[in-house]
């Protein structure tokens, strides 16, 4: 008795062909979705960094204009001073907040000890992310009147 040979049907061949195409497409789609997500995250981070630098620069200029005085800096650009640190809270769209609730981004300006000049460290961070978005050291050589 001879073996029965299974002859492939036309729809069966089409099915295999389609499965291979779907498989390749799935692989490409997975790579593309990964790239889309990365692009979205990078774009958001870039926007946040731009805003963080803008806010930091503005506060640094106010601090210099105040001759290194945190209370006067707070009077000029908002925020609250506690234990030698000026804190300014921002919401998701970087609007400054008057109170403490709803903070998504936070700018911290901490006075540092220095002789003959005023020094401070500035840090902008996003809630829940330990690494700062932006940080820098500030120095004011003169006392503004």
Applying CB under 8 A, the residues found at the interface with other proteins are: 6-7, 9, 11-12, 14-15, 18-19, 21-22, 25-26, 29, 32-33, 36-37, 39-40, 43-44, 46-47, 50, 54, 57-59, 61-62, 64-66, 72, 76-77, 144-145
Nearer to other proteins, 66 or 111 (CB): 66
Minimum gap (Å) between residue 70 Cβ and other proteins: 14
- CB count, 10 Å around CB of 18? 11
CB of 51 to other proteins, least distance (A): 8
CB atoms within 10 A of CB 75: 13
Q: How far is the CB of 88 from other proteins (least distance, A)?
A: 13
Rounded-to-integer distance, Cα 49 and Cα 62, Å: 20
Cα end-to-end span (Å), the chain: 110
Angle, CA 96 vertex, CA 51 and CA 73 arms, to 5°: 90
């Amino acid at each position: 008795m001879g073996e029965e040979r299974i002859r492939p049907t036309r729809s069966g061949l089409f099915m295999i062909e389609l499965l291979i195409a779907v498989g390749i497409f799935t692989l490409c789609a997975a790579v593309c979705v990964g790239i889309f997500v990365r692009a979205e995250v990078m774009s958001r981070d870039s926007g946040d960094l731009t805003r963080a630098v803008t806010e930091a620069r503005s506060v640094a200029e106010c601090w210099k204009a105040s001759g290194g005085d945190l209370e006067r800096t707070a009077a000029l650009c908002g925020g609250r001073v506690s234990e030698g640190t000026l804190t300014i809270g921002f919401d998701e769209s970087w609007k400054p907040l008057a109170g403490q609730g709803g903070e998504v981004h936070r700018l911290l300006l901490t006075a540092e000890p220095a002789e003959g000049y005023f020094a401070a460290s500035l840090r902008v961070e996003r809630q829940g992310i330990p690494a700062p978005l932006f940080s820098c050291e500030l120095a004011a050589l003169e006392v503004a009147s």
